[in-house]
Structure 1
């Protein structure tokens, strides 16, 4: 572990003023109370009294004394002089040359209880606190350094030297890492250790190691890709890696080691010390099973969606081709029925007259044609599915052999049927004892024959159909898993929830009793409705239109405002003042102004920096942003722009975590600009997605006919502040609804801006999102399309809210129905952990997982429509 991890700026700012303290800090650290005044009054001379007060405020604010006690910002000196009624003059400034300042330091330490870090009790408490942070978290050394400084200042411990504290934190982190490595490698047998070491060896005649192959997940969506994913899962399980239960190793630490093994080069892992190398491989093998299992189910879910979707399309095409024959047969039967309904024909002559007009053979052919061509209302397209049985037969044996599902009550029939297939899949005669609870009404006619035996092919497709539905609803799950785990995992219930509920409610700023919160919410909603109704007569932009028995709310659109001539002239003048610069010059200037390239650290050697590294980083970022590749930026005469240098920088410095850190530095730098503060204060952010078509078949893209037509694509979901800076982004398959990832993109942004009002479009709206944002203290402000057709819900059933009452449905009794708010606070469960393993995985597990979604939402009972919250959460 390198000892030097602080930047030059951090070293220079350590124990010094970095600017004038804020008014809040002046009032907190530099205010003199009666006891301070009494102690200061004992000093002889104005310069001694002011100097003593300055040193007292400095040690409170910085945690240390300055070499020059009066080297403080002017507002500090003025504030203390004003409190002591002393004018700052040349005689006062002579304090810095006197000997009294040394005695004053000793007196301040003795009177106010300041101690050195070398005292045993102080060192023990600090070590125990930092050790717990290192063991349970993955904070960077610089973050631990800042938190240690805050702890020292809070507990009146004088700051040690910068290098002393830096070495102390480095040694502590090394101790924690060694403690982590020992239990991870202790439970590994010699055979398992040999298997793990062999993962790093490149076999003769190959260019990749087994570890590289295990790290490569599926990218295509087909049966072969699914089989290869199952083979990968089987290879991971063959390693037999299980963490010792008694070690109680935090999951975050194991995941951090696994992330390193998943991105570092094999050569870098080979150079690690043996204990660390073994622990890293153990952690990666442990976490890889969950990732590999998720990849299998992701490909399976996509294959099943395409399989049943293609069956529907094939049925439609066949039906279009057979419409002519169906019309002819239907016309023949219609003629026969017309004669049958003719009351003028005697019953005795009906059959004779009918066959004279329509021969028996013609009528029989028409009846057989209609029976063949008609489709039941709950058609499952079995004929088209059965034609794809060979495709299913390719992956199904490996699937049932390697995947073990768990289920809730709704998914138990699916798991029972899946387990039966595991036993009977390889038999020539599977038997007739298949569980039939999974066979629904629509499948019964295909699965069950006339003799009550089971059609094996139809039963397989029935099970796959129900499995596909259960996977989307999360009625079935697997373990271990990141995205397809049991939704109830991590939820508190029973006595554990009752013990934790006060802490959770206090964190959310809510009462442990839901009644006051729900009553206040109902009162607020009812008051808002009444206020809106009172203003409706005076609002010409709102009206109600009646069409038949329907009453629609109509909002008049905003009128277009013409740009004044002054604005046009200002825009032209500003455009004329802007210099014309090349993009490389622009990014290099921003790097020099903000230093965002410091956030890019080496993947294995965190402090490794090469000469002119910012130039190479800017070139790589420019090549990626312009999608040109490095070719236009390569210069053989400049070492920082040589091909091998750019390739090495791209592989070792540009990663998700470094890009996130660099973006945070850019956002923070922009937030300090005067112009940005005029645009907004950072309290408002807008989230929206941009759709991109993916031209290749990949597991990471999804179909969405609304945006991609017949193709597949992804959604780039972005969060932008009112200062026009991008706070966070997530890339997900194009099939996911925006509301599923909204909370993830809001909660996981790592900039200094903390927006409290989130604006979205209709795609990110759902009743559950309203409730969750309310719980977390955010103001959710969606821009809803077609608001006139939306049904609202009222609280007071006796309230006369006409004409707005046209849009109201059944009154909502919040206290009885238990809203999302009540479900979280009162008798329900609370999510203890957040899920997700990597940026790509957030497409399937939003960062915040609702604990119990049954009930009603922020606006009342669920409207009966497609964005029902259960469909929203399990789609």
Structure 2
């Protein structure tokens, strides 16, 4: 059996390796006065240096010279430099084993430490489960063991011992978690859990496979199917609190394993592990089925109103000729009446002779019909699909437990009324039925003296849809439709986060600081604007006019870019992935879902990634590949490809690219941009995605990507093509896994709202969108707008300081919740936007955002460099989009996957391959720059700034994928393209 490792090579280097770079040496090995006194007590030069080296190693990694292995020369030199001895003296010291041992004992005694013993193994094995309670990460477990040893003042044993005890501790933690999760199960429940893995002849699959298959197309029958599965899952009577004593990360790990494992594989597990996975999976399935049913109901209800509006628009458009004719008739009527009044004639006689009374009377019915059509509420037409609603609505009401904050909430009363009517078979809605929906619907639903059930029930579910979206109404044991407050951390938990962000504890302090700055900026802006001192900005006829940003790329930069591009060597994408993996180690981030080990078949791993990136799919990738089979690809994708492994691998590439010297010519990694890229759906009908008129009539999805100023695409997420991009801006800024410290971020108009301005500022980001409607946006002030008379045409409403003051505490709780990752920013922003009446927290954020947007607008107007910087940042995103289109070409670039998870895999694979290309191009561009400079050609950094590592003409994306040949290429740099020949991609 193959040896199982706890740590990978990078983990071992970080935990047990001796660093060589100067900053790390300074952090770990700078001696204090007490250290120097100990060292100076040695008699000879070699002994002093050897003693100092051992003393340094005991501090980090934590064991003596005997376990350290080969030491980097820079380390010995750094230690020697501090004590004034030659580094060469260490050679003689290392030969004296007795002196080495004696010094090790003296150091441990002086530092109050002791050597590890066999008796410490139990301490280490027990420390392992504590660290492993929340994670399977070998690095975290080993760190927990090391911290425990250091806390007990024990020197570290050999790394292999720590790894073995870590593996034992992890196994023990898994057993404890499993036993905790299944402790309350009865024998009957255990038997039913095992029956989940036995094929059901009626369904043709196991009950578990049937329950896990969640339909995505919005159909009434699919909602019923989801509710049927929910009832089945609940029939196991698993205690909802069974997972409350398990760390959420551990629970998610069990769920991921259960979702990815076949019944055959689960059946081979030990009973306690199998039952624990199934319990976790059922708990998760209940929440997922509730969410899926509500989301599908949401889409069906929303779709009914969308179709109603479109039908109304079509019908009204069809009356265009009639409207024109009737308007001419109306104009003739007005003219006749006007002439009669001017000439003091009988208006009826003039009207009859000029227009014709009979003609007017014949048009009366047409005018009435068109007026009714134009003013018809979409509820009336949406109610035409009431029969579809009735196919799933009664079951939804019966199974789901809806809650609201207020006792006696009218929405819940209306739902209970419908529930009672369904149970009793009563058809007539009582006259005193609660009407929580919009007041303009009241008259519609009771137009003829009694309540129309079709209109009433349709209106109630449309209202419920909005309430669920906002969190005003929630469902017990749901994941996405929880109570609004449940997404926020407590005020106590928020306090340290607020302090870390250096935010004022009170609104008064924030308003005073921001108000003073805003007042000064507005006055300075008017002073400069009125004197024509703003570059490219002027006020004409009460409206701002801003000169467009012009591209400022020197001709010399284009020449250098062309020469660099010509020098890049030709390569296949298979070769690029292998080279980048060798240099960055990103393949190690793809760990086995069950064992945590890295993938041993890199060819299959890279092929699975490329299958996502190119949209080719596993079967076609296997057909086009040499060196991998379809079975290998399916197994690899199942075991290693997950959203979190994609994210970790991308972070490795981005961090490695950030460390390249050439990356600094494009930026320092502190600014970025984000934008969506539309991909058409490969499906038709329901479930094919949303239609965005901006991209035509085809449905599809948007891959929303964040790109750093160094061209690294550090985050991507799939969103609906019809949704607003703004909620997802902060998702990428807060939830990426790379080490980039983004300080300034750019978007276009689609990514900008006042809420994003507010949260970016409070979270420490400078938000700089390129606003298409900039001149039409109003400036805001905390003081009276009348204080800025010269800016009167540009000023909007005064900031409502009272709203900010009243809800400052909730604002801080929201900011802390986002910062700590308790909830995604997009989730909260969408909920705030879904309130039917403006939520007060939403309003407070909007007012804060107006302040921050005004300060940004003043920056934009006063700083041409900011405008150019934003323009350049967004252009880098456009370059990335062009490369994405070149890679994702199979199936005409249409995404055929229905599930969001599969779509996210496509986006993540594409983003990872783009990041690998950017890294690979950057390394060879650095070689090309070095070549030019070595030959006396001028290639200054200020010109290289205008180049880009996002080219792809020299990389072949199609043809046969020769994985074995790519893997067999020798390590090291390939030659630049001096011959000028380029293989076409």
Query: What TM-score results when the alignment is normalised by the length of structure 1?
Result: 0.85
Which of the two has greater helix per residue? Answer: 2
Which residue is 2:397 aligned to?
Answer: 400
Tell me, yes or no, if structure 1 residue 730 matches structure 2 residue 717. Answer: yes
Seen in structure 2, the aligned counterparts of structure 1 residues 822 and 646 have a Cα distance that, compared at 3 Å, is closer
Is this contact kept in 2: 1:762–1:785, CA < 8 A?
A: yes
Residues 1:358 and 1:386: Cα distance change in structure 2 (over 3 Å) = farther
CA distance in 2: counterparts of 1:828 and 1:680, whole angstroms: 28
Alpha-carbon shift at residue 293 of structure 1 (Å): 0.9
- Is 1:675–2:665 an aligned residue pair? no
| Residue number in structure 1 paired with 2:683 | 696
Q: Secondary structure of the equivalent of 2:485? A: coil
Unaligned runs of 5+ in 1: 865-875
Aligned-residue offset at 1:352: 11
- 8 Å contact kept, 1:58–1:64: yes
Is the 2:445–2:451 contact (alpha carbons within 8 Å) kept by the matching residues of 1?
Answer: yes
Which residue does 1:567 correspond to in 2? 557
SS in 2 for 1:387: helix
Q: Secondary structure, in 3 states, of the residue corresponding to 1:681?
A: coil
Partner SS state of residue 537, structure 2? strand
Are 1:492 and 1:830, in contact at CA under 8 Å, matched by a contact in 2?
Answer: yes
- 1:583 corresponds in structure 2 to 573
Q: Is the 8 A contact 1:717 1:731 kept in 2?
A: yes
User: Is the 2:588–2:598 contact (alpha carbons within 8 Å) kept by the matching residues of 1?
Assistant: no
- Structure 2 partner of 1:96: 94
Give 1:836 shift: 6.6
Verify: 1:37 aligned to 2:28, yes or no. no
Q: Is the 8 A contact 1:187 1:244 kept in 2?
A: no
Is the deviation greater in 383-392 or in 716-725? 383-392
CA-to-aligned-CA distance 1:581-604 (integer Å, 9 cap, x gap): 222222232233333323333333
Using the alignment, how far apart are the partners of 2:175 and 2:350 within structure 1?
A: 98
Q: Secondary structure at the match of 1:425?
A: helix
Structure-2 change in CA distance of 1:830 and 1:580 (3 Å) = closer
**Structure 2 residue aligned with 1:663, among 638, 650, 665?**
650
Q: Is 1:288 matched with 2:299?
A: no
Following superposition of structure 1 onto structure 2, how do residues 820-835 of structure 1 map, counting pairs within 5 Å?
A: 823-825=810-812, 834=821
8 Å contact 1:687–1:742 — kept in the other structure?
yes
Aligned-residue offset at 1:552: 1.8
Residues 1:437 and 1:123: Cα distance change in structure 2 (over 3 Å): same
User: 1:191 is matched with which residue?
Assistant: 188
Contact 1:820–1:857 (Cα < 8 Å) also in 2: no
Aligned-partner SS, 1:554:
strand
Q: What's 2:612 paired with?
A: 624
Per the normalisation by structure 2, the TM-score is: 0.76
* Partner of residue 756, structure 2: 769
Work out whether residues 781 and 851 of structure 2, in 8 Å CA contact, stay in contact via their aligned partners in 1.
no
Q: Deviations over 1:350-405 (max 9, x none)?
A: 99999999999987765455444423886323543343333223222223222332
Mapped partners of 1:833, 1:674: distance in 2:
32
The answer on whether the counterparts of 1:715 and 1:731 sit within 8 Å (CA) in structure 2 is yes
Q: Find the aligned partners of 2:335 and 2:768 in 1 and give their Cα distance.
A: 61
From 437, 445, 448, give the equivalent of 1:447.
445
Q: Does structure 1 residue 418 correspond to structure 2 residue 408?
A: no
Q: Which residue of 1 aligns with 2:964?
A: none
Shift of 1:694: 1.7
CA shift, 1:117, in A, is 4.8
The superposition leaves residues 663-688 of structure 1 with CA deviations (integer Å, 9 ceiling, x where unpaired) of: 22222322232222333332222222
Query: Residues 644 and 38 from structure 1, CA distance in 2 versus in 1: closer, same or farther, beyond 3 angstroms?
Result: closer
Of the candidates 219, 232, 235, which is equivalent to residue 232 of structure 2?
235
Q: Distance in 1 between matches of 2:342 and 2:774?
A: 58
Specify whether residues 796 and 345 from structure 1 end up closer, same or farther in structure 2 by C-alpha distance, changes over 3 A only.
Answer: closer
Q: How does 1:488-567 map to 2 (within 5 A)?
A: 488-491=485-488, 497=491, 499-536=492-529, 537=531, 539-547=533-541, 551-561=542-552, 563-564=554-555, 566-567=556-557
* 2:774 is aligned with 1:787: yes
SS where residue 742 of structure 2 aligns?
coil
SS at match of 1:171: helix
SS at 1:62 equivalent = coil
> Could you say which residue in structure 2 is the equivalent of 1:868?
none
Pair 1:272 & 2:266 matched: no
| 8 Å Cα contact 1:227-1:395 kept in structure 2 | yes
Alignment check: 8 A CA contact 1:823 1:853 kept: no
In 2, the alpha carbon distance for the partners of 1:160 and 1:799 equals: 74
**Cα distance change, pair 445–206 in 1 and its aligned pair in 2 (3 A):** closer
Aligned to 1:873: none
1:518 positional shift: 3.9
Paired residue secondary structure (1:718): strand
**How far apart, in 1, do the equivalents of 2:819 and 2:787 lie?**
43
**In the alignment, structure 1 residue 85 sits paired with structure 2 residue 84:** yes
CA contact (8 A) 2:785 2:795 kept: no
Residues 700 and 732 in structure 1, CA contact (< 8 A), matched pair in contact too: no
Instruction: Say if 1:372 and 1:679 are closer, same or farther in 2 by CA, change over 3 A.
Output: closer
The equivalent residue for 2:108 is 109
2:753 and 2:10 mapped to 1: Cα distance?
A: 45
CA shift, 1:123, in A, is 7.2
Q: Distance in 2 between matches of 1:798 and 1:335?
A: 48
Which residue of structure 1 lines up, in the alignment, with residue 54 of structure 2? 55
More off after superposition, 317-326 vs 593-602: 317-326
3-state DSSP class of the match of 1:248? coil
How far apart are 1:761 and its partner, in Å?
2.1
Residue aligned with 1:686, SS: strand
CA distance in 1 between counterparts of 2:103 and 2:79 reads: 16
Give the Cα–Cα distance (whole angstroms) in 2 for the partners of residues 480 and 68 of structure 1: 52
| Residue 300 of structure 1, aligned match among 297, 302, 318 | 297
Q: How far apart are 1:512 and its partner, in Å?
A: 3.4
Distance 1:372 1:365 in 2: 12
Aligned residue runs from structure 1 range 615-654, under 5 A: 615-629=603-617, 634=622, 640-654=627-641
Q: Tell whether the 8 Å contact from 1:182 to 1:279 is kept in structure 2 after alignment.
A: yes
Residue deviations 1:442-477, cap 9 Å, x none? 223332144x32221221222133223333433322
The 2-side partners of 1:198 and 1:844 are apart by: 41
Matches within 5 A, 1:411-490: 412-425=409-422, 427-433=425-431, 435-438=433-436, 440-450=438-448, 452-490=449-487
Measure, in 1, the Cα distance between the counterparts of 2:335 and 2:229. 65
Partner-residue secondary structure (3-state), 1:853: helix
Q: How many angstroms apart in 2 are the aligned matches of 1:735 and 1:252?
A: 32
> Which 10-residue stretch deviates more, 806-815 or 183-192?
806-815
Three-state SS of the structure 2 residue aligned to 1:696 is coil
Native 8 Å contact 2:799 2:847 kept in 1: no
Name the CA distance, whole Å, in 2 between partners of 1:460 and 1:815: 39
Query: What aligned pairs does 1:66-215 form with structure 2 within 5 A after superposition?
Result: 66-67=65-66, 72-90=71-89, 93-98=91-96, 99-118=98-117, 131-135=129-133, 137-149=134-146, 152=149, 156-204=153-201, 207-215=204-212
1:218-264: CA deviations, max 9, x gaps?
22122222222222222222332223469633333323212221222
- 2:842 matched residue in structure 1: 853
Structure 2 residue matching 1:746: 3-state secondary structure: helix
Tell me if structure 1 keeps the 8 A contact 2:727–2:826: no
- Give the structure 2 partner of residue 614 of structure 1: 602
Cα RMSD, aligned residues only: 4.2
CA change 1:582–1:825 in 2 (3 A) is closer
> Residues of 1 paired with 2:366 and 2:375: CA distance?
20
In 1: Cα distance, 2:572 partner to 2:112 partner: 59
Distance 2:369 2:31 in 1: 95
Contact 1:700 1:733 in 2 (8 A): no
Distance change (3 Å), C-alpha of 1:234 and 1:449: same
Question: Aligned pair count?
Answer: 844
- Partners of 2:377 and 2:852 in 1: how far apart? 29
SS in 1 for 2:443: helix
Deviation of 1:286 after TM superposition, in Å, equals 1.0
